[in-house]
């Protein structure tokens, strides 16, 4: 399966169903995500650079919600210490079968295991590095604390967690402005108003953004360090925290 196809999923007027990570999405995913998330490529590339700094020898790295393995590949390329395993987890079979192909050719001493599983249920242990790159937003808000707590417990002291998310803003005027700027970003990348509207309808009950304050407060209550927000563009941001 080629994975460089153009995302035309919402081009025709349709009865919009809830968004799922099925075969049709997996086929166009690289195009879809890079034309939808401002800074996606920077965030993925820099996740690898952060791995180079923070992954500890004799430990595990977790890529939670790995999709086609973009972050996994960057981490594998950048780990520079011994005896590290990357465990990449996703619950979409369609995504994982392409991730297998994408990670096959990687030249790295770091082992990669791809697991078809639900990140709310899989165990995390002996971790020095974990990424939730645009995945937490798909977990129901009431289950986010339990997931982050499990990651905290599975991290070694000094372990690092990256969280990248779509965010919202408490002040409606600012929120509205950021959504408009995001839609402008998508329009500039070739999406029509119909595609933007239909995608928004498909995803609004599935992807639930929170404010930066909500993320920061939860992380600190669980015991993480003060979050470092290292990237933000409009209503998308990435932060890292330490145990």
Which residues of this chain interact with ligand GEK, rule CB under 6 A? 21, 33, 44, 65-67, 70-71, 89-92, 95, 118-120, 133-135, 138-139
Nearest distance, CB of residue 173 and ligand GEK, angstroms: 26
* 88: β partners: 63, 114
Residue 152 or 236 with smaller CB distance to ligand GEK: 236
Task: Give strand ranges (E) for the chain.
Answer: 59-64, 84-90, 111-116, 127-133, 155-166, 228-233, 236-242
Residue 120 or 218 with smaller CB distance to ligand GEK: 120
Q: Using DSSP, state whether 182 is helix, strand or coil.
A: helix
Residue 70 or 151 with smaller CB distance to ligand GEK: 70
Nearest distance, CB of residue 121 and ligand GEK, angstroms: 8
Nearest distance, CB of residue 72 and ligand GEK, angstroms: 9
Nearest distance, CB of residue 157 and ligand GEK, angstroms: 25
Query: What proportions of the chain, in percent to the nearest 5, are helix, strand and coil?
Result: 45, 20, 35
| CA angle 31–68–115, rounded 5-degree value | 160
Residue 91 or 149 with smaller CB distance to ligand GEK: 91
């Amino acid at each position: 399966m080629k994975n460089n196809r153009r995302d035309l999923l919402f081009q025709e007027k349709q009865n919009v169903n809830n968004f799922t990570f099925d075969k049709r999405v997996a086929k166009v995913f690289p195009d879809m995500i890079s034309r939808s998330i401002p800074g996606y490529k920077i965030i993925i590339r820099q996740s690898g650079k952060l791995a180079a700094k923070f992954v500890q020898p004799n430990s595990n790295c977790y890529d939670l919600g790995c999709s086609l393995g973009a972050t996994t590949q960057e981490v594998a390329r950048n780990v520079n210490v011994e005896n590290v395993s990357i465990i990449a987890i996703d619950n979409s079979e369609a995504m994982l079968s392409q991730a297998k192909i994408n990670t096959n050719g990687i030249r790295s001493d770091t082992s990669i295991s791809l697991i078809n599983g639900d990140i709310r249920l899989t165990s995390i242990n002996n971790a020095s590095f974990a990424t939730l790159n645009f995945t937490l937003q798909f977990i129901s808000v009431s289950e986010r604390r339990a997931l982050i707590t499990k990651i905290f417990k599975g991290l070694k002291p000094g372990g690092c967690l990256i969280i990248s998310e779509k965010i919202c803003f408490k002040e409606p005027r600012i929120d509205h402005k950021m959504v408009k700027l995001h839609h402008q970003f998508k329009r500039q990348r070739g999406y029509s108003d119909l595609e933007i509207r239909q995608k928004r309808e498909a995803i609004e009950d599935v992807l639930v953004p929170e404010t930066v304050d909500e993320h920061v407060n939860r992380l600190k209550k669980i015991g993480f360090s003060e979050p470092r927000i290292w990237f933000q563009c409009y209503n998308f941001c990435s932060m890292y925290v330490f145990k």
